[in-house]
Structure 1
Amino acid sequence: MHRDFIEKLEANPVIAAIKDDKGLEKAIKTDCEIIFILYGDVCTIPGIVERIKSSGKIAMVHLDLIAGLNNTKEISVDFIKNNTKADGIITTKGNLIGRAKELGLYTVLRYFVIDSMALVNIEKQDRHGVSQPDVIEILPGIVLPKIIKRVNKASRVPVLAGGLIGDRDDVMNALNNGVLAVSTTNEEVWEL
């Protein structure tokens, strides 16, 4: 686990998640130190990452959402490492985590917690010797406190929450119930 990444998340519990160039420009002007990149393609992602890095922030690329890299192949992780200055990756594909860790990248493994089977998958991932991410992120981020507690119990790594985080109450609910940080595309929340 990258302890330095965890410490940065602890110190900066609101993560700006960007889905277009307008969001990128706004995010780099905020106090958010970590930016999740949720858009782009194989041609534009190096420039997007460069804008974030030149503003002194941590750039995390969501591989599943980058056209040309959104597959289950480890080569997509290699591309990010070799062709950008990204600090890490976000993915729903557990098989990419091990390669990213080998390359020294920070890792976020996303889970959509929509039913009890999703919770079982979190527990299975932890038990089957799959390379552990630095953190997991559960979506939607406005899940019930008892679900957050169950996820924390099932996971050996810290938990983030993202998706549908709309205001200060949503942020505080997540943080007060055991989430390390929240990610959101809601630009108003970035200013909290």
Structure 2
Amino acid sequence: MCDIAMESISNLLSKSPIIPACRSDKQLEDALCSEVNVIFLLESNISNFKEKIEAIKAVNKYAFVHFDLINGLSQDNSALEYLVDQCHPHGIITTRKNLIMTGKKLGLYTIQRMFLIDTTSITSAISMAKNTKPDAIEILPGIAPKVIRAIKNKIETPIITGGLITNSVEIVNALKAGAVGVSVSRQSLWSSVE
């Protein structure tokens, strides 16, 4: 089990709503030394995911792994059980409904990632969040405060946003629109936003 007691994702992000989204070893190394509370591990493979997750946990940060992007593992329930057995991350990020359900059964935080490209995808995202009941949804791209507000008005699920964010104004606008967190890859944006 996790070595940090579970609380709501909103609470995890209340003091530090910025989430480093790490694709490279250098990004992860920098995120481990940052003041953030949660780290998204976006890329890993079957030979290094355990080491990366353990490094995040070793500095008392919450480790969320984008399960769909672990090279060498299929995206099925058995592979998720294997991940949990090997290193038990605090949570997963996935686009797959079945993995949200399995992750919840395994005691993980679950974040359902959704790509919003038109009004139909927004309606679908709202419906999916109501059905799967993840701990949070992550909507991409993150530069549309109008969309964040529209979804927030229809569901109670906490919203994280990310993608295409290039400056602190976009982070502030996402948070003002109702997002509880913003995932960003740019290290220059990982410090607190006022």
Instruction: Give the TM-score taking structure 2 as reference length.
Output: 0.91
Structure 2 counterpart SS, 1:43: coil
1:140 equivalent in alignment to 2:144: no
State the one-letter code of the partner of 1:179.
A
Task: Return the alpha-carbon distance in structure 2 between the equivalents of residues 146 and 24 of structure 1.
Answer: 31
Structure 1 counterpart SS, 2:57: helix
Q: CA RMSD in A?
A: 1.4
Structure 2 counterpart SS, 1:83: helix
Alignment of 1:85-96 (within 5 A): 85-96=88-99
Quote the residue 1:172 is aligned against: 172
8 Å Cα contact 1:34-1:60 kept in structure 2:
yes
Quote the residue 1:27 is aligned against: 31
Task: Return the alpha-carbon distance in structure 1 between the equivalents of residues 66 and 178 of structure 2.
Answer: 23
Which of 4, 22, 30 is equivalent to 2:8?
Answer: 4
Quote the residue 2:67 is aligned against: 63
Alignment of 1:93-172 (within 5 A): 93-127=96-130, 130-143=131-144, 145-172=145-172
| Equivalent residue pairs, number | 187
Task: Return the alpha-carbon distance in structure 1 between the equivalents of residues 125 and 66 of structure 2.
Answer: 19
Task: Return the alpha-carbon distance in structure 2 between the equivalents of residues 85 and 21 of structure 1.
Answer: 20
Structure 2 counterpart SS, 1:109: strand
Change (3 A) 1:150 1:132: same
Task: Return the alpha-carbon distance in structure 1 between the equivalents of residues 69 and 10 of structure 2.
Answer: 23
Structure 1 counterpart SS, 2:9: helix
Task: Return the alpha-carbon distance in structure 2 between the equivalents of residues 126 and 18 of structure 1.
Answer: 25
Task: Return the alpha-carbon distance in structure 1 between the equivalents of residues 77 and 108 of structure 2.
Answer: 13
1:153 Cα shift? 2.2
Task: Return the alpha-carbon distance in structure 2 between the equivalents of residues 166 and 70 of structure 1.
Answer: 32
What is the CA deviation profile of residues 87-124 of structure 1, one whole-angstrom value per residue up to 9, with x for unaligned ones?
01000111111110111101110111111121121122
Could you tell me which runs of 5 or more consecutive residues in structure 1 were left unpaired when the two chains were aligned.
Answer: none
1:166 Cα shift? 1.5
8 Å Cα contact 1:126-1:156 kept in structure 2:
no
What is the CA deviation profile of residues 3-55 of structure 1, one whole-angstrom value per residue up to 9, with x for unaligned ones?
43321112220001100101111000110110000111112100010111111
Change (3 A) 1:180 1:80: same
Structure 1 counterpart SS, 2:151: helix
State the one-letter code of the partner of 2:29.
E
1:70 Cα shift? 4.7
Task: Return the alpha-carbon distance in structure 2 between the equivalents of residues 119 and 4 of structure 1.
Answer: 24
Kindly, what percent of the aligned residue pairs are identical? 35
